[in-house]
Structure 1
Amino acid sequence: MTTSPELIEGASAASDSDSGSAAPSATLGGESKRSVEQIALLLFITVPFLALLAAIPLVWGWGVSWLDLGLMVFMYFLTCHGITIGFHRYFTHGSFKAKRPLRIALAVMGSMAVEGPLVRWVADHRKHHKFSDHDGDPHSPWRFGETVPALMKGLWWAHIGWLFDEEQTNQQKYAPDLIKDPAIRRISRDFVLWTIVSLAIPPLVGGLVTMSWWGAFTAFFWGSLVRVALLHHVTWSINSICHAVGKRPFKSRDRSGNVWWLAVLSCGESWHNLHHADPTSARHGVLRGQVDSSARLIRWFELAGWATDVRWPSKGRVDARRRENASNAA
């Protein structure tokens, strides 16, 4: 098994197995979104979001069972780490090398987050780093200007609006290493299958444990719909909120900031300023008290021998990226 990371404007792409070749059409989603894709996207955004809104009066009126809550939390952090460790730190930036079983598991876990096919997700994010908060960035909140009305419009664009843009990132240009891997290409192409699996696990478990259709329904409501909606908006908040506000103790060429109150739910991704200052770092929360569960799991993978060549930030590397005044904030 070999690895040949490719640098794309500071974001390195890990490829532990580069064999075979394929055109972008071999992955799900090409250079433009068809109308049917946009309709499906709208459904996958609005239906879970409506469930999230309905969750408030349901908790107030009937409560939520420990089984439903457990399924929601388990599925949330399983798929959240699939995105943060798998799609982001590993596949996009090559923060570590992974043994083949871990590589496949991370690809599947990330796909179950229902945030789009793996190859497309990685291509979009690599392009984001190349043009971060400048022309060409797929989802910068500063896209329309710096006035308050322009920023409000930009925040909406960065959070959700960009997902409906018909023009898509060139996958062959930004993720050729992933396209060359037949297994990863297959997982990316089977995104719909992983979505079904992700949505089906909670009601299957809930129904079997309670031996009732009602138990299956409530597990689907909390463990599937509410969980997906919450994870979606936390992930999108990294694009919008973390590029508009937050402390910026490290030097970066964009407006990425650290937003502490998103740290736990984002599995460490909201320590976004350090990430943009040092994109290949396996740890984003490098300062005292900065919780980063993704980095902790990567460390466990390393200790188990599943991950190697982990790019841990050294003190010298961190100090070199500090601003002269570490108290700078947005």
Structure 2
Amino acid sequence: MAMLDTIQAILVERLGPLGPIYAVGFLAVTLLALALPSLLKKRADPLDRLREENLARQRASAETGLPRLRYNSRADKLDKYSTFLEPQNEEEFSAIRLKLMRAGYRSRSSVRMYHFAQFALGIALLVAGVLYAIVGNSTGGMSSTQMILSIIVPGAIGYYLPKYWVQRRLQTRQGEITNGFPDSLDMMLVCVEAGQSLDQAIIRVAAEIRAGFPDLADEYEMVAHELKAGKDKIQVLKDMGERCGVPDVASFVTVLIQSASFGTSISEALRVYAGEMRDKRVMRAEEKANVLPTKLTLGTMMFTVPPLMIILIGPSVYGIYETLQKGAF
């Protein structure tokens, strides 16, 4: 703190009252100038040729008046900044891509948009913090600690806000999948026992549960589309378990893979596992019900005991006060 006060005193002495603000602004401009070359630099992408061919095909379709099969999204404008916005490490890229897929963001530019949101919000709130520090220093005279905190804290909030949003979305989505999974297994068991194949049962279940559990319906539809495309069934089921990130779904995928590998009845495996999922859902509900009294204890003590004590002891305290007042006179 002494060092910061010394630096602030030197800046105020040489640059005036707004010297610390000028110094912070100069530092920010310097960092942006250093980051611009790496931001604008782009490595040669082997898919550039394919993009050029697509652009040429789109121009040809525009000239001929035929409808286009694919439209460019606004996120494609960030392609030239992909080197800056996307992790270059394959493991980091795969981890953040998997996290976004589990949160429900499956577009090919989701990682790029995620990092762009972090960068844009961080810079925007950092600039807002600088403006607030300038106004506060010119009107009320902020200390160096308050000035630094008013600049750094908004920038940190803007940077971590997309991460918090994605984490909350991931938890909400996984909770919805966990709640709707037992019902979907019961429907799938009914469809299989009615004579439908597993692929047809998945399609029917996806259509039936969409009103109540749209995220789980999307997962089932993706499984159905991948199976129709000819992808290996075991790999499709493994991908579903990895995308959901829910232990119940991963166990269900393991049961189906073992049933397909050993040639056992799928309907019997579904019946046993559906019963286990129903029991597990009841256990989760009982667990929440058992925890509820413990959570209500603090509220009960705060809002029940003080009024009760006032009702019980209040008249006695008032009577003692009146007695002392009469004795004093």
Bin of the TM-score, shorter chain as denominator length: under 0.3
**Structure with the larger RCO, 1 or 2 (CA within 8 Å, 6+ apart):** 1
Larger Rg computed on CA atoms: 2
More helix by share: 2
Q: TM-score normalised to the size of structure 2?
A: 0.24
